[in-house]
Structure 1
Amino acid sequence: MLDIVIKAREAKISSDFGVKRILPYQLRRMVGPFIFMDHGGPINLPKGSVSSLDVLPHPHIGLSTVSYLFSGNVTHRDSLGIEQVITPGEVNWMTAGKGITHSERFEDPAMLAGGELEMIQTWVALPEKDEESDPSFENYKQEQLPVFTDTGVWMRLIAGDAYGLKSNVKTHSPLFYVHVVLEEGIHFGLPTEHSERGAYIVRGSVDVNGTTYTSGNLMVFTKGVDPLIIAREKTTLMMLGGEHLGDRYIWWNFVSSRRERIEQAKEDWKQGRIILPPMDSDEFVPLPEDKSRPAGGPPPNALS
C-alpha cells in the first residue's frame, strides 16, 4: 500500500533560511516528474533586515521550479527581466529549459515588521524533448486555480488534473499538484488518474491502514492501490505525482537526462556564460565546491 515514507531532513538554502528537504531521497528520487521538494517555515521573521534569508541569483537547467506560499511573500527576479512578487495561494511557475537565473528576495515592509513566512518549493523535471526549450515564467493568481469544497474538505488544484478538476497552469507532462485541508475525522482518497502518487503532511496527522503519520512525512503510495487517508486532526496536505519521465541526473540546481549536460552547465556557470537577472546582478551564488558526479543524490545546498 505504502511504497515508502520519506521523513524530511534539515537543510539550508541561505545563511538563515532553514528548510525541510523531502525530495530527492536516496531510496526514492522522484514521484512522477517531481524531483525536488523543500518545505520552508513557518518562520517568524525578525523585525528589521531579513537579507540573510535572501536566495541570491543562481542558475537552473532542465526543470520547472514551482513556488507556492502559505504565508508571507517573496520577490522573484530572473534573467528574462521579470520581477514578480508571489503571495499566498498563487503559483510562480518558471521553466528553466536550456538555462535561466533567478533570485528570491524578502523585501515586503510587512514581513520586515516581523511577519511570518511559509512556503513549498518543488522542481518538476522536463521531458527530454523540452530540456533545451527556451526559458519562460508565469505567475498564476488565486482566482485562476480551481478550488473544490465539501464537508470537511477544501482543496486547490495547483497544477495538472485530479479529482475531476483541471488547472490552466501550463505543464509539460501529465501530473497533479494539490493543496488539501481536511478537518478532523474526514476520510480522503488518492486521485486515480496518475500512476505515481504522494502526499506530504504539512501540518497535522493522518491514519493510513491503521498507522499514524505526522507532519514532515511524505507518503508515497504503491501503483494501483487506493488507500483511505483519515485525518486525526485538522490537517494540511500537499498531494503530488504524475507519470514517470525516466531517470534524471541532479546536481546542485541542474537537472538533465544526460550527465554531460550537467557538466556543461557547471562550467558555463563557473565561466560566467549564464547571464544574471538584469535587476539583480550585483551578487550571485558561486558554484559549490563538490567533487561528486551528478548521480542523482541530494544536491548540495540546492536552491529553487
Structure 2
Amino acid sequence: MRIDLSDRVAIVTGAGGGLGAAHAIALGRRGARVVVADMNAEAAAAVSDQIVAAGGEALACGVSVTDQAGVQAMCDEVMARWGRIDILINNAGVLRDRTFAKMDLDDFRLVLDVHLMGSVNCTKAVWEIMRAQNYGRIVFTTSSSGLYGSFGQANYSAAKMGLVGLMQTLALEGERYGIRVNCLAPSAATGMTNDLYSPELLAGLDASLVSPAVVVLASDQAPNRAVLLAGAGSFEQAHVTMTRGVFLDAGDATAEALLDRLDEVAHREGESIPARGEEQHRYEMGVRAAQRVDA
C-alpha cells in the first residue's frame, strides 16, 4: 500500500538541515504541503525551495520552538494559507553535553526548553486544530539516550524521556479525536552528532534512512503510542514494560525482604505493557486480592 499524503499539511521543526530537512523532503515527496520551520530562516528557505523545485508545495518559517508567540503566529499563517494542519513533526533540538557534575544548570534548562517545552509549544498550537478536524498525527523525537541513558547527557536524556511520557498521555487524550501520537528515536549523522561518532560510523547513518519511519508515523495508517527506533536502514520498537514482580504480605513487607527478592522483582518472564498508568495499582490490588483468597 503506497502512502499518499497529498491532502495533508505537515509542520516539521528544526527542518533547516539534518534530520528535519530529510523528513520535510520525504513528506513533500509523498505529496504533503510542508511547513519548513527553523530558527535559521535562510536554511528553512533553502529546504523549502528544494521541495518546490521537486514539484511540491512548501512554506518556510523562521521561528524558534521556544518562542510560544512565534509558534502560534506560524500556525495562524499556515491555517490562513492552507486551512488545516494534519501532521506535526517535533524535531528541533540542541545539545549541551557535559557530565552532570560539571554541567551548568542554565545549559540543563536550555535543553529542556528546546526539546521538551519546544515540543509542548508546537503541539499546544496545533492541538485544538487537530481536535476540531478529527485528525492529527504528532511525532516527538525521543532518543536512545533518554530511553537507556548516555554518559554526559543528563539534560538531553531527561528531556527525551520526558517526551515519551508526554506521548503516552497525549495519545490517550487524542485518540477519540483521531489524533495519533508517537515517538521516534533516530540514529543519524547530523550537525548535532558529528562530534559524537567516528567517521566510519557516521558514513552509514544518513538522515534520509530515518525518514521512512516519519512517513509511516505521519500516515493514515500510523500506530498510536509507539516508540520507533530508526537508523542505518534498521527499524526497531521500544516498550516501557512492567514485570510480574513479587507479593510481600503485611507481616513480611520489610525492606530486607524486598532486597532479598529484587532479582525476582526484575525477572522479565510474563512482563506486560500497561495500556494506562492506573494499570499498575489495579494489578497490585489484584495480586493482593488473589493472595488473600489463596490464604
TM-score interval, smaller chain: under 0.3
**TM-score, length-scaled by structure 2:** 0.28
Bigger proportion of residues as strand: 1
> Larger C-alpha radius of gyration, 1 or 2?
2
Higher relative helix content: 2
Q: TM-score normalized by structure 1?
A: 0.27
